[in-house]
Amino acid sequence: MKMTPGWLTIARLALIQTAIGAVVVLTTSTLNRVMVVELALPATLPSLMIAVYYAVQLTRPRFGHGSDVGMRRAPWIVGGVALLAVGGVAAAAATGLLEHHPLPGLVLGIMAFAAIGAGAGAAGTALLTLTASVVSPAARGPAATAMFTMMIAGFALTTAVASRLLDPFSMLRLVAVTAMVGCLAFLAALLAAWRLEGAALAARAEGASTPFREALAIVWGEAGTRRFALFVFASMLGYSGQDVVLEPFGGLAYGLTLAETTRLSAWQNGGIFCGMVLTAIAGGLLGRRYPGTLRITAIGGAVLSAICLSALAAGPSAGMTGETIFPLAAVLGIGLGAFTISAIGAMMAMADGGGDGRAGLRMGVWGAAQALAFGLGGLLAGICVDLVALATGRMVVGYAVVFAGQALLFALAALQARKAIRLTGETATSAFRASRSHTGQRQT
């Protein structure tokens, strides 16, 4: 039985998400820029470290299972943010070392980004699992919207404040600012998580005491879990790929200036925000009466994204003008925002699995699929652009092929959503029971 939280509870959950995002954005964007611009290091170096960050997050199932064992999520959230903050400071220190001591700086940087990945994985998995346990089905859309809206706001606030504090730039100042952000993030997560779960459960669920490998085999044996993992992977591969090629495409295909391509991203991000809000409103108004609302909005968001990405792919050859691409990017953002919130809401609804004590493990499996997709998305998109450009002699054709591939992935995700998101809300319990029963009969 899920309790219906007030907005204060949702705000506390969102504050934790903001704390996680504040440290991550500082280490994956600001440190990236410092390595490439201020230190004139090869761009491959920060890419390698970010790849380590995503690779470590493949351990999310282990973190989720760990939080299942004690049936407490708050210690994993607070501990994860603490590790994330320490990793952030270490990454800043490693950036300073790279200038004069490359090898020690590289070793420390890899270790720091591994810690960042582990901290984000532990805290993020436990946070989503906790949200699923304390938020009622009808409130999951608004809760997810509040969490990710505050996370985006945290990105903007962190980078804006950090940019002012880092001027004039020095390595010592970089470490100090990163440490300040890490300390504030930890304190915010600690205060927000304080007594958020209530009293500890008197008895653990049956599945919580199962060894990790056995529990993972049981969860992966569920047809519903596998289908949803494939759904998450396909959709997030398309999502992450378009994110890194939209601005270069605008510059090459339509001659947009740097300021104009930045405005293009702003249009897209504005659309994402609108899509999230509209989906949250739809979920709040219709979720109680129509349990399949999240599935419908997920399919609608995926289809809209596929249509817009197809239009981007065909744009240069179809005579699309530079002015047309701005509203198209906004509509694409609406589709992405609607899809993202729907997928997260469905993920929270389906994690419980009949109260078997493996909600964290399922959330970890899906989080690992998302991390793998994000780690591969930008890399594969860049490789595809270069290969197609090499074969055709036209860089714009490479971007068009990438957009077409991403449209295909979202179309596939829309088809998968019909089966992957079988039921939402409280009725997801019976779906997983049926899935486990079917799996057991097949094995017998």
Q: Which of 197-206, 284-293, 387-396 has the lowest mean pLDDT?
A: 197-206
Report the alpha-carbon distance of residue 347 to residue 64 in Å, rounded. Answer: 14
Binning pLDDT at 50, 70 and 90, where does residue 230 land?
Answer: very high
**Predicted pLDDT of residue 185:** 94
Does 76 have pLDDT greater than 90? yes
Query: For the purposes of burial, counting CB atoms within 10 Å of the CB of 75, is it exposed (0-12), middle (13-18) or buried (19 or more)?
Result: middle
What average pLDDT score do residues 89-101 get? 93
Q: Which of 194-203, 240-249, 305-314, 424-433 has the lowest mean pLDDT?
A: 424-433
Does 276 have pLDDT greater than 70? yes
**Predicted pLDDT of residue 288:** 62
**Predicted pLDDT of residue 6:** 66
User: Percentage of residues in the chain with pLDDT exceeding 70?
Assistant: 85
**How far apart, in Å, are the Cα atoms of 364 and each of 121, 135, 245, 257?**
8, 19, 28, 41
Does 182 have pLDDT greater than 60? yes
Instruction: Give 27 or 163, the one with higher predicted confidence.
Output: 27
Report the alpha-carbon distance of residue 52 to residue 417 in Å, rounded. Answer: 30
Look-up: residue for tokens 């008895």? 203
Report the alpha-carbon distance of residue 296 to residue 414 in Å, rounded. Answer: 10
Report the alpha-carbon distance of residue 190 to residue 74 in Å, rounded. Answer: 9
User: Percentage of residues in the chain with pLDDT exceeding 90?
Assistant: 34
**Predicted pLDDT of residue 202:** 37
Helix 74-100 × helix 171-193 angle, to 10°: 180
**Predicted pLDDT of residue 85:** 96
**Predicted pLDDT of residue 304:** 96
Q: Among the ranges 136-145, 298-307, 386-395, which has the highest mean pLDDT value?
A: 298-307
pLDDT tens sequence across 48-63: 888 899 999 999 999 9
**Predicted pLDDT of residue 426:** 36
Binning pLDDT at 50, 70 and 90, where does residue 208 land?
Answer: low
Residue 335 DSSP one-character state: H
Query: Average per-residue pLDDT in the chain?
Result: 82
Does 353 have pLDDT greater than 70? no
What average pLDDT score do residues 206-229 get? 83
Binning pLDDT at 50, 70 and 90, where does residue 28 land?
Answer: confident
The DSSP annotation for 9-23 comes to HHHHHHHHHHHHHHH
**Predicted pLDDT of residue 442:** 38
Does 436 have pLDDT greater than 50? no
Does 444 have pLDDT greater than 70? no
Residue type for position 300: G
Binning pLDDT at 50, 70 and 90, where does residue 289 land?
Answer: low
**Predicted pLDDT of residue 77:** 95
**Predicted pLDDT of residue 4:** 45
**Predicted pLDDT of residue 201:** 46
The DSSP annotation for 199-231 comes to SPPSS--GGGGS-HHHHHHHHHT-HHHHHHHHH
Does 437 have pLDDT greater than 60? no
CB of 276 closer than 8 Å to CB of 338: yes
Report the alpha-carbon distance of residue 386 to residue 388 in Å, rounded. Answer: 6
